[in-house]
Structure 1
Amino acid sequence: MSRPLGRAVLLLLVGAVLAVLGTGSAQAAGYRYWSFWESDGGKGWTYATQGPSVVRPDDGAVQGFRFSVSDDSQDSAQPRRAPDFGAVCAATPAKGGLKRIALVIDPGTAADAPEGEKPPPLRTACARVAPDASTAEALAAVAKPLRYDTSAMLCAITGYPRSGCGEQTGGDSGATDSGGPATASSADERDPDGASGGGGPSAGVLTGVGAVLVLGVAAVLQARRRR
């Protein structure tokens, strides 16, 4: 096979592979939702592994909620206020037969807000609830109205956002999909993209790359036979 022909085949092969990978990247999208966080025992946050309706925190716990757009739990934005039980519950004295839960409620930034809406300010609250109360019950005590969908996914805190629930954003069409998978803010504990892992190429993209490689090798072999 001549050098010009070999280079042409190589360039064609590389271009085809990049085109396939580019298609997969262009279709990537995130989800707009309330993520649920727990204090890691220090001054930081850890993504909750159970939904707020399942978690029953102890007295003195700090729980956080953050509204943002993300692909999955690995890149989800944390609340922008450090968990500090003493600061949040300083004005709420302990009371016999009840527990206190500190809550950090972060509606996020304008960049993550649904079209036509403005996020309210970040706020904190100290919920004084029954000893066996869940985080969802503590949230309901201080941040009504809450909105849930039919699968018990948390959609809105204090009425924000007005509509939508875990909808998909971005992608080629720019359309949203209100049927997105549940987040860790619901009881089924799944990532918002409904799968393990994050933004890697899909199985379809990898299959396409493999097909391009096979065709490229076949073209090279055919050219050598014709020499």
Structure 2
Amino acid sequence: MTAPDLAAALIDAGRQLVDAGLSPGSSGNVSVRDGDRILMTGTGTRLGALERTDLAELALDGTPLGGARPSKEVALHLALYAKNPEHAAVVHVHSPSAVAAACLAPWSDESAVPPLTPYALMRVGQAPLLPFAAPGDPAMGERIAASPHPFRAALLANHGAVVSGEDLARAVDSTIELEEWCRIALLTQGAARTLIAPEHVRALADRWGMPWTGPLA
């Protein structure tokens, strides 16, 4: 994909996230990786109104290569690329249900929310709750690197969510599905809810290539 194509795809991804109600105000950031460089939304930008001048170009070690000043969450993105080297896009949002779920005790060490829907298992897999770090703190990247669990999505305590994907479309889809998963978890919180049966949890996660190493029920 050429540089203009990458920029256009990133701008479109930002609009999709806003249209889905996942990026209020100037919150959230998105990046896409192409070989040894990363294109990332700039600091203070609104994902629904991105222009090419709002994008920053970085090396894989975070060194600025040109464009706008990158989001302060560079460490968060770099850490998830390092964890999932086959992935080429990262989305970070402060979406309402993900933030709310990130303020609650996690369901397990491996996943903050339990296996409630097949789509969560098919599009996200387990999503651990990572300990709190202030926005922009490089410790957020360290939390990802230190986690022993495989994941493509995580909740950031009292903060929001971060998701990676093989490409921008899959990263955006997984982010939208994670928000829906958290919303359903909140709606059923405290109720006598029924989880997906263990044999179906493993079968769905394996079939769709999503990580699930934690409890099955």
- TM-score, scaled to structure 1: 0.24
Give the helix-richer structure, 1 or 2.
Answer: 2
- TM-score, scaled to structure 2: 0.25
Instruction: Name which structure has the greater RCO, CA cutoff 8 Å, separation 6+.
Output: 1
Structure 1 or 2, whichever has the larger Rg, is 1
